[in-house]
Amino acid sequence: MTIKKILGSTVSFAILMSATAASAQSIDELYEAAKAEGMLTTIALPHDWCGYGGVIEGFKAKYPGIEVNELNPDAGSADEIEAIKANKDNTGPQAPDVIDVGLAFGPSSKEEGLIQPYKVATWDEIPADIKDADGYWYGDYYGVMSMIVNKDLVENTPADWADLMKPEYAGSVALAGDPRASNQAILGVMAAGMSSGAEPGEAAGKAGLDYFKALNDAGNFVPVIGKAGTLAQGTTPIVIAWDYNALAWKDTLAGNPPVEIVVPSTGVLAGVYVQAISAYAPHPNAAKLWMEYLYSDEGQLGWLKGYCHPARFNAMAAAGKIPQELLDALPPAAAYEKAVFPTIDQVNANKAAVTGGWDATVGANVE
């Protein structure tokens, strides 16, 4: 993975000292401080996304006395950022303590002063190219863009992006989010653009917009946010989503309907998400304890159970900490061999192209 870091504005000495002191706290001391706060407020964490249901339960079991207040599970990355902005002066239950957002949203949130630095105990095992050197944001997991297909409704499973243009897929294809706000959907557009040979970044974003315009004009695109329920109901028989979400939906559906998951043969895009703590977190100690849990062996394996490759995957694999059955449950390694990890600059350029051009180019109001 090669992902460039973007370093934001300088940080005051007081904030840096606070971050260092917090990082030096023992877990027991952090737990006591978090218990005194009594709550952790999360946002945009669907339970079937990356195994978050089990991760949240694991956190609550390990640290009783801390209520987990879950806001808007289906929100996109941009919605999470807006929630921080809207609640700067609010210490109530609508103010998120922590966020889990697409890679492009980490550096921009730092530049806007919306997040605060904190380095977990396992910081050194998070690859340098997916974390901010000052500890403002840090990669948590990654997967590849895939297609999940309702086999009761779709006889021939598409193998690549170009296939989705075929008349047999009329009224069938959806993105798993609004491409004006959802990182998953924004990168889905870039993956489609990459399949045409466009370079990751602005070029692929614009090519992806052209692709979805053609798909919409052909009557194949469905302007509905795709998820397990819409897939099963037949509203969105084919959904473009991260492989870990598709695999979790497959488990949830348990064969009703039967589904097939495909990693396209071209435009194979890998996407990294990042964690951060709100600069205005009402429960900063609970937020730090949450981060310690997520980046512990237990938390990392929790994400792996949800079919995600956690940030510490390579270090844990080298140390023999990953059970073989979890490795066997992942997509074949070949699915990742062609995967492209865009740089932050490329992710940012694509985001600007897609969010700024979707309405004018595609004109489909996804909701």
| pLDDT band of 336, cuts 50, 70, 90 | confident
Q: What is the CA radius of gyration of the chain?
A: 20
Contact at 8 Å (CB) between 341 and 272?
A: yes
Q: According to the model, what pLDDT value does residue 3 have?
A: 30
| pLDDT band of 41, cuts 50, 70, 90 | very high
Structural domains of the chain, with CATH:
13-142+271-328 (3.40.190.10), 143-270+334-360 (3.40.190.10)
* Structure-token pair, residue 254: 């348990």
Summarised one tens digit per residue, pLDDT across range 276-316 is 999 999 999 999 999 999 999 999 999 999 999 999 998 99
DSSP 128: G
Contact at 8 Å (CB) between 83 and 94?
A: yes
DSSP 148-166: EEETTT-SSPP-SGGGGGS
Query: Can you tell me which residue has the tokens 């979790």?
Result: 248
pLDDT exceeds cutoff 50 at 82: yes
Summarised one tens digit per residue, pLDDT across range 169-196 is 999 999 999 999 999 999 999 999 999 9
Q: According to the model, what pLDDT value does residue 120 have?
A: 97
What mean pLDDT is reported for the chain?
A: 91
Summarised one tens digit per residue, pLDDT across range 197-219 is 999 999 999 999 999 999 999 99
Contact at 8 Å (CB) between 286 and 39?
A: yes
Cis status, amide bond into 257, omega within 30 of 0: yes
Contact at 8 Å (CB) between 313 and 300?
A: yes
pLDDT exceeds cutoff 70 at 55: yes
Summarised one tens digit per residue, pLDDT across range 339-351 is 888 988 999 999 9
Contact at 8 Å (CB) between 329 and 259?
A: no
Question: Percentage of the chain surpassing pLDDT 70?
Answer: 93
- Rounded CA gap, 361 and 249, in Å? 31
Is the whole-model pTM more than 0.75? Answer: yes
Q: According to the model, what pLDDT value does residue 25 have?
A: 61
Q: According to the model, what pLDDT value does residue 10 have?
A: 27
Summarised one tens digit per residue, pLDDT across range 86-123 is 999 999 999 999 999 999 899 999 999 999 999 999 99
pLDDT exceeds cutoff 70 at 1: no
Q: Percent helix, strand, coil in the chain (nearest 5)?
A: 45, 15, 40
pLDDT exceeds cutoff 50 at 269: yes
